[in-house]
Amino acid sequence: MPSVVYALRRDEIWHWYKKAWRRSLWPFHAFLLVMPLGLICLLRREMDVASIVEGGMLGILACGVMIAYPQMRYRSEVRTLILDERGVRGVRGKTDYFVEWAKIARVEQQDGYLVITERKLNAFIIPMRAFASEEEKAAFLDFAENRISQGI
């Protein structure tokens, strides 16, 4: 069974998040900026400067939390990912977790990373430096892609 051992750095999490933001997360941030503004103006039934400033500040705070959350959840511990017929098993320190293939949305190479994305948008972000060779990376990727395409 293919496996990989790696540790992500905080700057790699930030780099990946910036790329994900450009690709697909920006609409969520736009909504988080506009929604509190509209909600406050609607509840107060007026669109004065105080409502706009308060709504804007709440929107900025919500976006800041969304940006900071992956950084806060980050753990620098070494991780081991093991792929098998049932899914992806991850081990980080004393934490052991498992995700079935049916819950994996896609596996792809993105900007120097191999990314295994769950349907609920969590992701395993594996830096290419984690693989000893191009062949090892290709075998890992092929195994994962085959399981997803088979709908296992």
Is 145 within 8 Å of 4 (Cβ atoms)?
no
Contact between 106 and 148 under an 8 Å Cβ cutoff? The reply is yes
Per-residue pLDDT, 3: 93
Q: How many Å apart are CA 98 and CA 90, to the nearest integer?
A: 6
Q: What are phi and psi of 73, to 5 degrees?
A: -75, -15
pLDDT confidence of residue 39: 84
Helix (H), strand (E) at residue 6: strand 3-6
In three-state secondary structure terms, 125 is strand
CA angle 9, 14, 20 (to 5 degrees): 125
The answer to pTM > 0.85 is no
pLDDT on residue 152: 57
Contact 126, 136 (CB under 8 A): no
**pLDDT for 63:** 86
Contact 107, 115 (CB under 8 A): yes
Fold of 3-7+75-149: PH-domain like (2.30.29)
**Low-confidence residues of the chain: pLDDT under 70:** 151-152
Question: Which pLDDT score, from 0 to 100, does residue 151 have?
Answer: 64
Q: What residues contact 108, with CB distance under 8 A and at least 6 apart?
A: 114, 115, 117
